Structure 1
């Protein structure tokens, strides 16, 4: 078995782990920093909305255009008196996009580009989109995201509990903000392909989150029937039991998406391929991060507010104190929890070596030696 396989097996069995829940304030800080950077990028640069959302015209020149991108941009801007965006496609053709153009302005811009290239006007492909259709596209995209989030909340509340539904929404909003912020920072155009990619990555993120939640639910199902672990410790065991699986799944998904983004879009040009690939790549990475270090810690923070859970944890910590357990017992030299401690237990919540008759995480009594 490979090293990664051995690590995954040890994490699953709880023999070693990382204290994700115990370090949740650190993860919250990192998450906040990412979100702030994304919001700053969105506020300072804004999103470049495609013509499908704003209305306008797109002109595509024949392959191997004889003018540069800068020249095509100047021609379009001077003729239409609007900002223009020019992109070179994989076959050497130029894609010139000008927003908020009417039919007359579109014809003039097309003719000016044809004159500069020395080709007939009909050789310049032109697509005109009205602003009213763009408004409809924007409304439909927002409705799709809202409906998706509402259905996700209902499903999670029924399948798990409302606290997990809230935590999943927090993770999904994080993924959306990060993806939108990256789009603003790099200046990519927002198209219907972008919306499709975002809805797809929300599904991937939800999948990872549900896998973790299912293991957390399994670990904490018999919480009150055992007197060795706190809720946060059992939840942390659930994360560690699934972390390798989540990372492996995401890496396998990121490889082909990365190929589409960095190789396919470079060879074939931009367009729909690039729009979908960027949102998928950023969203998959953000979704993996949020499902591991955001979703479950938020559940723990909400769950430990329950009187029954709080009383259970208080009783365990008091029993440990009476047993002479030192608060904040350091981890072993290899970074794992000490013997008899739940792997990855937060500082102050580590369990001493289980005495004879103490209950294990499954609620069964351990036999005395």
Structure 2
């Protein structure tokens, strides 16, 4: 069976996966992942010099390896805090934090002597701790503003329960991404912050698509007694399931190329910071929009008096249908006939649809002469 046929059957309701009904399972999985991410976050993030200050030295020399540059940098600083990355065109970048008590000119002089390059060929940049602190504050401020605007928009466009569910999903994705980043030990750079904001936008987009379908499916839901809010929300989730999977896979493919091919095989270390954040964030965002946001929304809505009354009416109808089906089966009738009788509104007066007995009019004159 092709993916297109599966998507059509999911949209029509012929096949359905009970995501909302298994919300305790999804909550447990998310809790374990977030706990592991929190442990990694407690171990501390490896902040780049853009946030904590320091010096960056770029050296270009044929045949110079990362190991050689690392050994020279460690010998000059007397420690192991220097970070070495390979850039394009055979360049090596050495980052030294502001905590090291080595002046810039002294480091350049020692580096040129040990590596056998001229001092003028070493590009040195110094970033002060105060500038890094400003960058950190601006990044945090941008994240808070983003969260507030998202919550206000969803509360206006949909309702506060949808806004709350989407906000929980966003925090879920952010914690997982930052925690994995801390566990892996990648350096946090401004590119990482850009990656965080990007995956939050993507996660929100996927969640809004699902919520819009939920809104369509639950419009006027209290006027019927065939399904509960959770069932309608789960149906909306199944309708958008294939679309969410396709969008996520298409988005993950180029990001995976950046991470594994660009950063891994080609050695472009500058791509790792943003590509890892995007890869983990996109995967977590797809999971949260399906298994966290919508089940949480359904749980919040089921606590309202209207939805409690609806669930009670649905249960009563299903009990009556089951009882009618048993009675029909005992009488030798088909369950469909019993359900047809139940569906007819009580008190309806007028013409009834009865089967036509053609033998009653056979052979009678039509009245025409």
CA shift at 1:201, angstroms? 0.8
Q: TM-score with structure 2 length normalisation?
A: 0.85
* Counterpart pick for 1:72 among 56, 69, 72: 69
The equivalent residue for 1:22 is 21
Deviation for aligned residue 1:107:
1.9
CA–CA distance in structure 2, aligned partners of residues 214 and 133 of structure 1: 42
Structure 1 gap segments, 5+ residues each = 326-338, 341-352, 360-366
**Hey, what does 2:187 align to over in structure 1?**
189
Counterpart in the other structure of 1:336 = none
Q: SS of 1:17's equivalent? A: coil
Aligned to 1:343: none
* Matched residue SS, 2:322: coil
Q: 1:104 and 1:187, CA in 2 relative to 1: closer, same or farther beyond 3 A?
A: closer
Return closer, same or farther for 1:206/1:101 CA change in 2, 3 Å cut-off: same
Aligned-CA RMSD value: 2.5
Count matched residues.
334
SS at match of 2:62: coil
Match of 2:32 in 1: 33
SS of the residue corresponding to residue 59 of structure 1 reads strand
CA contact (8 A) 1:52 1:192 kept: yes
Answer whether contact 2:86 2:267 (CA < 8 A) is retained.
Answer: no
Residue 308 of structure 1 and its aligned partner are, at CA, apart by 1.1
Indicate the residue corresponding to 2:55 in structure 1: 57
Q: Which has the larger radius of gyration?
A: 2
Of 283, 286, 289, 1:285 maps to 283
CA distance in 2, matches of 1:281, 1:247: 14
Partner-residue secondary structure (3-state), 2:269:
coil
Partner of 1:233: 231
The alpha-carbon distance between structure 1 residues 297 and 354, as it changes in their structure 2 partners (threshold 3 A), is farther
Instruction: Report if aligned partners of 2:321, 2:339 keep a CA contact under 8 Å in 1.
Output: no
The question of whether the paired residues in 1 share the 8 Å contact of 2:85 and 2:94 is answered with yes
Any conservation in 1 of the 2:226–2:317 contact (CA below 8 Å)? no
Q: Which residues in structure 2 correspond to 1:79-94 (within 5 Å)?
A: 79-81=76-78, 83-94=81-92
Aligned partners of 1:69 and 1:94 also within 8 Å? yes
Matches of 2:24 and 2:259, distance apart in 1: 33
Q: Distance in 1 between matches of 2:230 and 2:341?
A: 23
- Deviation string 1:122-156 (CA, Å, 9 cap, x unpaired) is 21221210000000000000000000000000000
TM-score, normalised via structure 1 length: 0.85
TM-superposed deviation, 1:265: 2.5
- Aligned partner of 2:199 in structure 1 is 201
Shift of 1:103: 9.6
The residue number in structure 1 matching 2:177 is 179
SS for the counterpart of 2:85 is strand
| 8 Å Cα contact 1:228/1:358 also seen in 2 | no
In the alignment, what sits opposite 1:9?
8
Distance 2:243 2:133 in 1: 41
Q: Which residue of 1 aligns with 2:128?
A: 130
